[in-house]
């Protein structure tokens, strides 16, 4: 640990930050989507004749909710595969 | 892992052609051949597909003429569905020793961005066709101080439409690639099944969101979403007056939100 240069430090921080970020970014939409599904299921059991409309709305809103997790995933992919900070420290490498 | 991201296959006049573009050409040939063969042999399959798309669209675009938007939204659904699941095809060996990997076209971010830009322009095109150019612009800026918010909303939903498709397809294919690197035999099969399911679901969601965006562009005064939702509408059966032509001439400024 004594000969840790800045590139190693940046890589370490990137990996830890990506892990924490994907944990939080996957956990929050999962909880919120679970609540949405719960409410939609309650509505479907209460009114089975409205199940078709509820299903369409549920799928669309779940796609909208899930896009936040996708944003987190994209940021993390950029951090890992195309890190702009590492490129600044090691140009051309 | 660096082979996972799009690679340049060849270049014409300095324009680099990636493997996703070549896969898109192959996909177009497959879709056209499938359409011709199925139309000859089993026309009922095409009818089932058409009924599925019509049901989806008529739920979201209820009250408007479906057949005006069906060609665009239906071809969008077919294209996105095939583009998401194309990666189940194996690698094709080319003459000359090189291999042409067949990848899902929506794994390259350019394909979802192009689709989202097409949806963005089609929203305004259908809105102007429905309400007239001046009427549509007047409705777009009905409270004038909300115009910047409206513009930001249009751009951000286009970006999120592209990013959603790209991220979902990329993430499931990354999972398949990681599992395939660990255990290449039999074990990736359920994951590939999940990949197919996610791809088809994303095609459904992409089409549904495009229909929702188009219906917001078509929104006329006095026809707010609350009224539409309150209409008695049993799922599965379409009332016959759904296809009634909407009077395009009775447009007055001031949109009810």
Tens digits of per-residue pLDDT, B161-188?
998 898 888 888 888 888 888 888 888 8
Q: Minimal Cα distance from B237: which residue of A?
A: A52
Put simply, the answer to whether A70 touches B208 (Cβ < 8 Å) is no
Cα separation, B176 vs B170, in Å, equals 10
**Chain A residues closer than 8 Å to B200 by CB:** none
How many Cβ atoms from other residues are within 10 Å of residue B79's Cβ? 21
What are the phi and psi torsion angles at B8 (to 5°)?
-85, 125
Q: Point out the residue among A59, A60, A70 whose CB comes nearest to the CB of B163.
A: A70
Of A53, A63, A77, the CB nearest to B59: A53
Supply the ipTM of this predicted assembly.
0.74
Residue pair B60/B211 in contact (Cβ under 8 Å)? The answer is yes
Per-residue pLDDT reduced to its tens digit, B13-27: 777 777 788 888 888
Residue B113, chain A, CB below 8 Å: the answer is no
pLDDT at position B96: 66
Instruction: Give the tokens for residue B249.
Output: 């001439």
Q: pLDDT tens-digit profile of A51-64?
A: 888 888 888 888 88
Query: Residue B94 pLDDT more than 80?
Result: no
CA distances from B57 to B69, B155, B164 (A): 9, 23, 20
Q: What is the pLDDT of residue B64?
A: 77
Q: Rounded to an integer, what distance in angstroms lies between the CA atom of residue B163 and that of residue A83? A: 19
Query: In the structure, what pLDDT confidence band is assigned to residue B109 with cuts at 50, 70 and 90?
Result: confident
The whole-chain average pLDDT of chain B stands at: 78
Q: Which of residues 53-92 of A touch B (CB under 8 A)?
A: 53, 56, 59-60, 63, 66-67, 70-71, 73-74, 77, 81
Cα separation, A40 vs A54, whole angstroms: 7
Secondary structure element (H or E) that encloses residue B18, with its range? strand B15-18
Phi, psi of B246 (to 5 degrees): -85, 135
The reply to whether residue B167 touches residue A67, judged by beta carbons under 8 angstroms, is: yes
pLDDT of residue B4: 62
Residues 6+ apart with CB under 8 A from B87: B102, B103, B104, B107, B173, B176, B195
DSSP secondary structure letter of residue A3: T
Confidence of residue B256 (pLDDT cuts 50, 70, 90): very low
Residue-wise burial string across B126-140, b where 16 or more C-beta atoms lie within 10 A, e elsewhere: bbbebbeeebbebbb
Distance CA B129, CA B135 (A): 10
Shortest CA gap B95–chain A (Å): 32
For the entire predicted model, the pTM comes to: 0.77
């Amino acid at each position: 640990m004594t000969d840790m240069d800045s590139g190693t430090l940046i890589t370490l921080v990137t990996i830890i930050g990506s892990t924490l970020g994907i944990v939080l970014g996957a956990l929050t939409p999962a909880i919120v989507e679970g609540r949405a599904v719960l409410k939609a299921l309650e509505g479907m059991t209460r009114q089975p004749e409205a199940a078709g409309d509820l299903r369409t709305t549920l799928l669309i809103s779940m796609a909208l909710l899930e896009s936040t997790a996708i944003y987190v995933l994209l940021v993390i992919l950029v951090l890992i595969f195309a890190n702009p900070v590492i490129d600044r420290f090691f140009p051309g490498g | 892992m660096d082979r996972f991201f799009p690679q340049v296959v060849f270049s014409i006049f300095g324009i680099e052609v990636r493997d996703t573009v070549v896969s898109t050409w192959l996909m177009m040939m497959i879709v056209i051949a499938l359409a011709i063969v199925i139309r000859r042999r089993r026309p009922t399959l095409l009818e089932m597909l058409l009924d599925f798309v019509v049901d989806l669209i008529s739920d979201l675009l209820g009250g408007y003429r479906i057949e005006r938007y069906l060609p665009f939204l239906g071809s969008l659904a077919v294209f996105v569905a095939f583009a998401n699941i194309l990666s189940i095809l194996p690698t094709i060996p080319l003459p000359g020793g090189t291999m042409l990997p067949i990848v899902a076209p929506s794994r390259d971010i350019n394909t979802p961005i192009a689709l989202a830009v097409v949806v963005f322009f089609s929203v305004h095109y259908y809105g102007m066709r429905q309400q007239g150019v001046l009427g549509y612009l007047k409705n777009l800026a009905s409270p004038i101080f909300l115009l910047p918010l409206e513009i930001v909303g249009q751009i951000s939903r286009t970006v999120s439409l592209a990013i959603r498709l790209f991220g979902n397809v990329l993430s499931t294919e990354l999972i398949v690639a990681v599992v395939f690197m660990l255990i290449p035999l039999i074990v990736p099969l359920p994951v590939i099944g999940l990949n197919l399911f996610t791809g088809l679901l994303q095609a459904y969601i992409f089409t549904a969101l495009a229909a929702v965006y188009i219906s917001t562009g078509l929104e006329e005064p006095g026809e707010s979403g609350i009224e539409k939702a309150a209409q008695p509408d049993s799922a599965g059966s379409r009332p016959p007056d759904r296809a009634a032509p909407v009077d395009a001439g009775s447009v007055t400024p001031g949109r009810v939100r």
